[in-house]
Structure formats: structure tokens, C-alpha cells
Amino acid sequence: MPRNLISSDATIRAIKPGDPRTRLSDGDGLVLLLFVKGGAHGWRFDYRFGGKRNMISLGTYPDTTLAIARRKADATRQLLAEGGDPSQQRKVEKAAFVQARVAQDRLEQGLPALDSFEAVAREWFAVKKDGWA
């Protein structure tokens, strides 16, 4: 499939509100959806994994330029070639980030780490203390 169909960032900057097009294809799955977020354009990568069609976001223009979007699309294509699902990988990365954030917040509050012996002992104590005389 052809690639690099959008010639430059100048082509994207030249698009004005009221343009009848809803999307610009850069080829091989990379698409720029026009005016998706209050005037910003959204980069999307369209792919198939496990026989199902999926689409993931790669950022918004102008924060994510054409060159950056192409690099992200290439990395996504590489992951697909290796047999990975980009959407699932993104979910795993997000869960790891949230877990690290929760652990950091607990440390800042002076609480023990989630899976530490102290945390388990405190939880056990809270459950059992009502049955003691």
C-alpha cells in the first residue's frame, strides 16, 4: 500500500474550517481525522489484528506533527509484524503507569507499599479486630 501521501505539514496547515473532507489518508493505515476536537485534527492508525479492524489514536495535530505521526505509525506497524496488539500493549502500559502512580502516592502519604507484609497485616487486622474481646 502506498505511504506518505500527505506531502508536508504545510498541506495540513492549509486546511480551513468548513473543508468538506473529514479525513486525509497518509497511506498504509495512517489517517488524519479533520476537526475532531474543537478544531484540532486527530491522527489515527487503522489496523487489523486477529481478524478484527481496530483504530488507535496517535495524538492531535499540531502537537503531533506529520513526522512524529509517521514514526509512531512505523512503530505500530513493527509491533504488528512481531505479532503484538497495539491496543492491548497500550492498555498494559497504562495499567503499569497507574499502578506506579498509586504506589508513589502511598509512599508520599506514609502508607506501606501495596503488596508489602505490613499492608497485608494491616488489612488482616482491620478484618479480624471486630471479633476480638
pLDDT digit string (tens) for the chain, length 133 residues: 677 677 777 888 887 877 778 888 888 889 988 887 667 888 999 999 988 999 999 998 888 888 999 999 999 999 999 999 999 999 999 999 999 998 899 888 888 887 789 888 888 999 999 888 7
Quick check: helix, strand or coil at residue 126?
helix
Residue boundaries of the structural domains of the chain: 1-83, 85-128
| Residue 1 pLDDT | 64
Q: Which pLDDT value is given to residue 37?
A: 63
112 secondary structure, DSSP code? P
The whole-model pTM stands at 0.73
pLDDT at 46: 92
pLDDT score recorded for residue 9? 77
Give dist(CA 37, CA 63) in Å, integer: 13
What letter would DSSP give residue 7? -
What phi and psi values does residue 6 have, to the nearest 5 degrees? Answer: -85, 120
Q: Specify the fold of 1-83.
A: Double Stranded RNA Binding Domain (3.30.160)
| Residue 73 burial (10 A CB sphere; 0-12, 13-18, 19+) | buried
